[in-house]
Structure 1
Amino acid sequence: MKTVDQLMRKSISLYGDELCFGWRECFGAEEEVQPDGKVFKKIIQGDYKWMSYCEFDRRIDLVGKGLMSLGVRPRQNVCILAETRMEWMLSAQACLRINIPVVTLYATLGEEGIIHGINETEITHLITSQELLPKVIKLLPQLPSVTHVIYMESKLEKEKPVFPSGVHFIVFSQLETLGEKADQELRGETPSPDDTAIIMYTSGSTGTPKGVMITQSNIVATARGFQTIMPSVSSIECFGDLRGDPGHAYIAYLPLAHIFELCSEIVALSLGLRIGFASPLTLTDKSTGVKAGAKGDATLLKPTAMASVPLILDRIRKSVSEVARSKGEFAHMFFKHAVSYKMFWQKLGYDTPILNAMVFSKMRALVGGRIKVMATGSAPLPADTHAFIKAILCCDVVQGYGLTETTAAACGTELTDTRLGCVGAPLTGTVLRLVDWPEGGYFSTDRPNPRGEIVVGGATVSKGYYKNEQLTRECFKVEDGTRWFYTGDVAEVFPDGTVKVIDRKKDLVKLQFGEYISLGKIEALLKSCPLVENVCVYGSSMHTYLIALVAPNEKYLEQLASTLNKENLSFEEMCEDPEIVNAAKREIHEHSKKCQLHKMEIPTKVKLCSESWQPDTGLVTAGFKIRRKQITNYYQKHIDEMYSKST
């Protein structure tokens, strides 16, 4: 297989009558007032409806012809700005089949990023959702190239916005009708392996979003690499063979505009799995968008495979621990002992079936009760979170390493690898080498394990950045016939060829006494503290200590305030109260010591941030990675105050 279309046609020929895509029909929403006065929108949904691989194939052709009847031609960029849903993947596959590059933008991307991505790629046809129409219509005066907006309907949006003149608005369901009526002479172009398939705009932790040009062959190479670590009958007897087994299902809820989710779904399709689409708002029975007594997406779908990101897994861990703590001291201690006991035996390669049935079955039921393998990527997964999730969900946790520039693929762990904190060996089709970084003290000659900047080469390395030749030349190099990408991440390589990411060049800061401190490493460990929802650690080379800007977990902060008899304060008041701040600082210090951070790595001062760190604020990326420069600029006044006061 050399192109995505070839890969999809192969799957369709193998699994034609099997179920392919599933989605829940939405009937509307109700507003529900919570005891604390907050109002949540509860979404009313039906059971999953399904289409087969053959039906998927037919609809791909119709959507493609529908787009061409609206004036789209091969090699002309089309943008998808929408949440993860069946129509997203259907649109993308229709474009890729007839050689139309797909520009992807996060639904949560800020206005400046959306304007930049659409204008830079000169988009004429924009595919979006009805929920995002108000934002799109607001931005249209700044999007001069857009002539057509195709929107996916939603029963949650009762009022249709006023459509401005000069731009054609088309309902997505009409595309297939247009395709059926289209001129039979309208034909796309068969893509070649080197043709651009995706221009993926990374939300970027620094600066303006960059468009990464990913080829058809890049995606196929990633699918091939991912398949090599998927379980089969020969390797994991207890799992069974994934290929074409109707009992297996993948739950899709992460942003498809992220390369990790896009490639995960393409791998699932190539294996003949069912893909059930879900939403973070309705994922579990306890999700904020699910009515009391109604079933979440995972409960209905009962997936056996799912992808996640460390931030979500950290939240699951904190939530489960919080529930155990709320049931009293004995229940909390028993739960901690059960988890520790299971972790001990799992490290030796054994399981605890009695504990699974008595204790962990209820937690497993949160994600449907049948999860066999959980894949995680996009950021380092703390070792303790890795072990905790593997224990309570009774599943294998596969950790991978990759970047948008390497089409999500670089390394991946084997299911039989019981170590924690490791990202596995290079995947099939990729090669990896280390480059010395003298400033950070990392060398490929280090003993016992070589260390250095990760440089990834091979078939998954993308073309470069769209309309940015200078940055492409800086980050991509062709040496000895191999295309390499310089990642900026630092790793050590073990004797068996597996890799552990230990640092990042951009996250290194030098304090006044000359010590180099890895901010990223500290942040990854602090995120496992129950109090910390997200954190940005800052260090000034003019001072001898670090400070931490913390977005606190609201529930945990309320519990902390109640121990100080300050239950009646608002969230903003709690974040400013000196006693609560000092108590929070003590919690973070104790947690830092448990994580075995050195004294100079423990933040001396803490600022609790009441502002919401959401992607639309520009403080974090769409994947909730911190944007260090934007956060430090936003809180510069507070940073200056913390450094001006004596410790």
Structure 2
Amino acid sequence: MTSLKPMESALLLFIRCVLSIYTFITWPIYYIIQKPWNVKANRSKLRAVSLTSGDDFILYRSVTEIRDVHARFLQDKIDTMEKVFRFAVRQHGQKSALGTREILAEEDEMQPNGRVFKKFLLGQFQWRTFTQTDSEAESFGRGLRELGLKPRENVVVFAETRAEWLISANGCMKQNMPIVTLYATLGDDAIIHGINETEVSCVITSQELLPKFKNILPCTPNVSLLIVMEDPLKPLDLNGYGDTVGVLPYKEVIRLGDFSSKSGLIPKPDDTAIIMYTSGSTGSPKGVIMSHQNVVNAMLGYTSVTTFYENDVYMAYLPLAHVLELISESIWMLYGIPIGYSTPLTMTDKSSKIKRGSQGDASVLRPTIIASVPLVLDRIHKSIQEKIEGGPAITKMLFNLAMEYKNEWTDRGYETPIINSTLFKPIRALLGGRLRFVLSGGAPLAPETHKSLKTTLCCPVLQGYGLTETCAATTVMDLDDNSLGMTGGPLTCCDVKLVSWEEGNYRIKDWPNPRGEIHIGGSNVAVGYYKQPEKTKEEFYDENGRHWFRTGDIGEFSQEGFLQIIDRKKDLVKLQYGEYVSLGKVESELKISPLVDNICIYADPTKLFPVALLVPNLDHLKNLAEKNGIEMSTLEELCNPQMEKLVLVELQKHGAKCRLQKFEIPQALTLVPDIWTPDSGHVTAAFKLRRKVVQDRYKAAIDRMYS
């Protein structure tokens, strides 16, 4: 290997010379065509201004002008979700609306290790037009009425993301029936809690999730009807659900509605549209009450941020029970953008359910827009890095040089079309090769992941900030924004207030930028928590004609009006010598390490340093073991004190590289052989850490690390 180093250096020098010549030739052309001075001016333009301030607060409002569609909605009084869908159908009638990929068969495939896995043989996307989607929703809503359900009666939707989910929700809204959303990955106790608290008699579910109800139904006495979205390959077995509960296929409800004469009941703006159960990272899930006008105003807030085109296509795979996905899909329908449904198991050519040699959903659909969460984006970033690191030295050298070159010119306001279409083309192809932008929400996105994906996917990655309690809408980056670690400026639907938090040393008079707890006020802020008046009173309040929500997040506003999330009140721990450690911030930085699949940082206020509970990546753990002459194969064998010392060294190096302070970096760790899933209770349905559950489960390990 050492004999190649001079050759590699010579090659690198040659490539740099070629790049210099290429830059010399193309720079004048790109300067005229790309107008970098405009790009840089747009990046630094004002996004928000401070309107008022007091001794302990400062209030910011967007300076973005509302777009035509927003103005038209106000003028035509389109103020419910039922009216939004009706508007979309009038505008886009025969255009493709919702697409589902045809599953032709499920076949056994032999793996290199001799194991056999089930794989899908998939066809093309089959599309419903806007008119067909609307007709199916109308029939579904009338079918519910034929089955005895009444307006304003809650209906649970408990299913994976699919076209029928959105259609059935639309059908309920046409009859003014609030939908209650539950994540498909919730444990039985959380499902029972949501069903019983909302007192529903009808649950809409999928054939895959239906068997869960054999255990759930004895604990949900109000449920008398299960409506099942059918599996395209397997017959529906309706036995074993008792005599008091009816189980009906989704298509049968549509058939009932087709022959029904019942009319719809138009909801009012103040009527409840959704009761959305949050993932419950600190206890039982809370039902957030969203009115129709809450959801509509959240949607309209996003319409002023970006531009959509005729050939745009959206790939949907996040849970529709998450407000980010539900708002996103509603916006795409408003603009007539086709929505193609996917799953993490079928998304790419290498996904686990895709037959070898077949195309994943992204390759067939070729989306221009996707929404994602940091957990998924971190995995994409890691997989790209692993592929480059595991390849030839020359590939790694070329890749790093291209990243360095592109980042340098991007910062100056230029695009690099030739590099994008050559060196980065294989990476772009992973998600179809046509992405125009990626939306990221649900948690902070690590700056390293953000920068890497913007560069390699050759499109903006727009980070936003919002909560279930604000209908996913608060701030979002626009297409001109080149910042990292920021969440953009406020949307037009709300104001953002920073309130000093003395205990955490965050004050609005801090220099150079004001800091404090984020309060959000506007027409997108939810009504409150379902059947929890005390919790509602604690976190929501009314002031100066606006409805406000206390987020518990700590933010900082830049001079341009960008919001950055810098901390969370519940995640902040003060160490023995007075240093503050933000547990969530440290976790988001350390998660980028290839050795980490998941991590929980714990800090005892009476100690000098934090410690870590780390779920390792088996492949990278094995590689580290082999490098150090340790021969063990299973995860349980590798989670031992000897490996913990080695992993700790690597983790500390990574922390220093991410510019964490010394007091923020764990000084001890425990390797955990368990997989943290929603079913195990260690993480929520949205894969947020259940910190208290994890700390209680591994209390003995924490005590040992501090002993």
One-letter code aligned to 2:564: K
Q: 2:564 aligns with which of 496, 500, 516?
A: 500
Residue 555 (structure 1) shift: 2.0
* 1:254 match: secondary structure: coil
Partner of 1:618: 681
Q: 1:406 aligns with which of 467, 470, 474?
A: 470
Q: Are 1:167 and 2:245 an aligned pair?
A: yes
Partner of 1:254: 318
Residue 181 (structure 1) shift: 2.1
Over 3 Å counting, the alpha-carbon distance change for 1:287 and 1:180 in structure 2 is: same
Residue 637 (structure 1) shift: 1.3
Q: Are 1:579 and 2:642 an aligned pair?
A: yes
State how far apart, in whole Å, the 2-side matches of 1:573 and 1:468 are.
47
One-letter code aligned to 2:270: D
Moved more, 162-171 or 484-493: 162-171
Residue 161 (structure 1) shift: 5.9
Q: 2:287 aligns with which of 191, 211, 221?
A: 211
Residue 568 (structure 1) shift: 4.0
Residue 362 (structure 1) shift: 0.6
Confirm or deny: 8 A CA contact 1:396 1:415 kept in the other structure: yes
Over 3 Å counting, the alpha-carbon distance change for 1:75 and 1:63 in structure 2 is: same
How many residues align structurally? Answer: 629
Over 3 Å counting, the alpha-carbon distance change for 1:565 and 1:161 in structure 2 is: farther
Q: 2:150 aligns with which of 58, 68, 73?
A: 73
* 1:615 match: secondary structure: coil
State how far apart, in whole Å, the 2-side matches of 1:502 and 1:214 are.
27
State how far apart, in whole Å, the 2-side matches of 1:31 and 1:582 are.
42
Q: Are 1:474 and 2:521 an aligned pair?
A: no
Residue 327 (structure 1) shift: 1.0
* 1:524 match: secondary structure: helix
Q: 1:318 aligns with which of 377, 382, 385?
A: 382
Q: 1:110 aligns with which of 187, 196, 200?
A: 187
One-letter code aligned to 1:68: R
Confirm or deny: 8 A CA contact 2:632 2:638 kept in the other structure: no
Partner of 2:703: 640
Moved more, 75-84 or 322-331: 322-331
State how far apart, in whole Å, the 1-side matches of 2:225 and 2:418 are.
59
Moved more, 77-86 or 154-163: 154-163
* 2:120 match: secondary structure: strand
One-letter code aligned to 2:671: L
Confirm or deny: 8 A CA contact 1:133 1:161 kept in the other structure: no
Over 3 Å counting, the alpha-carbon distance change for 1:253 and 1:2 in structure 2 is: same
State how far apart, in whole Å, the 1-side matches of 2:672 and 2:413 are.
42
Partner of 2:419: 355
Over 3 Å counting, the alpha-carbon distance change for 1:464 and 1:630 in structure 2 is: same
* 1:617 match: secondary structure: coil
Residue 45 (structure 1) shift: 2.0
4+ long deviations beyond 4 Å: 36-39, 156-159
One-letter code aligned to 1:107: A
Partner of 1:236: none
State how far apart, in whole Å, the 1-side matches of 2:237 and 2:162 are.
20
Partner of 1:544: 608
Partner of 2:277: 201
One-letter code aligned to 2:244: G
* 2:401 match: secondary structure: helix
One-letter code aligned to 1:354: I
Partner of 2:176: 99
* Counterpart mapping for 1:448-463 below 5 A: 448-463=512-527
Partner of 1:291: 355
Residue 39 (structure 1) shift: 5.1
Q: Deviations over 1:380-423 (max 9, x none)?
A: 01111111111111111111100000000000111101111110
Q: Which segments of 5 or more consecutive residues in structure 1 lack a partner in the other structure? A: 232-240
Partner of 2:267: 191
State how far apart, in whole Å, the 2-side matches of 1:343 and 1:31 are.
45
One-letter code aligned to 1:539: A
Q: 1:345 aligns with which of 397, 406, 409?
A: 409
TM-score (norm 1): 0.95
- The alignment yields a C-alpha RMSD, in angstroms, of 1.4
One-letter code aligned to 1:355: I
Residue 201 (structure 1) shift: 0.5
Partner of 2:208: 131
Partner of 1:140: 217
Moved more, 83-92 or 52-61: 52-61
Partner of 1:234: none
Over 3 Å counting, the alpha-carbon distance change for 1:425 and 1:393 in structure 2 is: same
Residue 40 (structure 1) shift: 3.6
Moved more, 152-161 or 47-56: 152-161
Q: Which segments of 5 or more consecutive residues in structure 2 lack a partner in the other structure? A: 1-77
State how far apart, in whole Å, the 2-side matches of 1:350 and 1:504 are.
36
Residue 331 (structure 1) shift: 1.9
Over 3 Å counting, the alpha-carbon distance change for 1:59 and 1:161 in structure 2 is: closer
Partner of 1:304: 368
Confirm or deny: 8 A CA contact 2:207 2:236 kept in the other structure: no
Partner of 1:274: 338
Residue 325 (structure 1) shift: 1.2
Q: Deviations over 1:458-501 (max 9, x none)?
A: 01100010000000000000011110000000011111211111
Task: State the percentage of identical aligned residues.
Answer: 46
Partner of 1:237: none
Confirm or deny: 8 A CA contact 1:546 1:601 kept in the other structure: yes
Residue 36 (structure 1) shift: 4.6
Confirm or deny: 8 A CA contact 2:110 2:116 kept in the other structure: yes
Over 3 Å counting, the alpha-carbon distance change for 1:641 and 1:156 in structure 2 is: farther
Q: Are 1:46 and 2:123 an aligned pair?
A: yes
Residue 615 (structure 1) shift: 1.1
Bigger CA radius of gyration: 2
Confirm or deny: 8 A CA contact 1:536 1:548 kept in the other structure: yes
Q: Deviations over 1:277-333 (max 9, x none)?
A: 111100010111111111111111010111011111110010011111111333223
State how far apart, in whole Å, the 2-side matches of 1:130 and 1:149 are.
10
Residue 174 (structure 1) shift: 0.9
Residue 429 (structure 1) shift: 1.3
Residue 600 (structure 1) shift: 0.6
Confirm or deny: 8 A CA contact 1:349 1:418 kept in the other structure: no
One-letter code aligned to 1:216: H
Confirm or deny: 8 A CA contact 2:586 2:601 kept in the other structure: yes
Moved more, 419-428 or 31-40: 31-40
TM-score (norm 2): 0.87
Q: Are 1:631 and 2:702 an aligned pair?
A: no
Partner of 2:254: 176
Q: Deviations over 1:549-576 (max 9, x none)?
A: 1111222222222212335421111122
Partner of 2:61: none
Residue 219 (structure 1) shift: 1.0
Partner of 1:235: none
State how far apart, in whole Å, the 2-side matches of 1:624 and 1:299 are.
27
One-letter code aligned to 1:333: M
Give the structure, 1 or 2, with the largest relative contact order (CA under 8 Å, sep 6 or more).
2
Confirm or deny: 8 A CA contact 2:230 2:236 kept in the other structure: no
Partner of 2:45: none
State how far apart, in whole Å, the 2-side matches of 1:30 and 1:643 are.
51
Confirm or deny: 8 A CA contact 1:21 1:51 kept in the other structure: yes
Residue 158 (structure 1) shift: 5.6
Over 3 Å counting, the alpha-carbon distance change for 1:269 and 1:600 in structure 2 is: same
One-letter code aligned to 2:256: L
Over 3 Å counting, the alpha-carbon distance change for 1:28 and 1:139 in structure 2 is: farther
Confirm or deny: 8 A CA contact 1:310 1:376 kept in the other structure: yes
Residue 640 (structure 1) shift: 1.2
One-letter code aligned to 1:217: Q
* 2:208 match: secondary structure: helix
State how far apart, in whole Å, the 2-side matches of 1:38 and 1:159 are.
29
Q: Deviations over 1:588-641 (max 9, x none)?
A: 000000011111100001111111111111111122111100110111111111
* Counterpart mapping for 1:355-374 below 5 A: 355-374=419-438
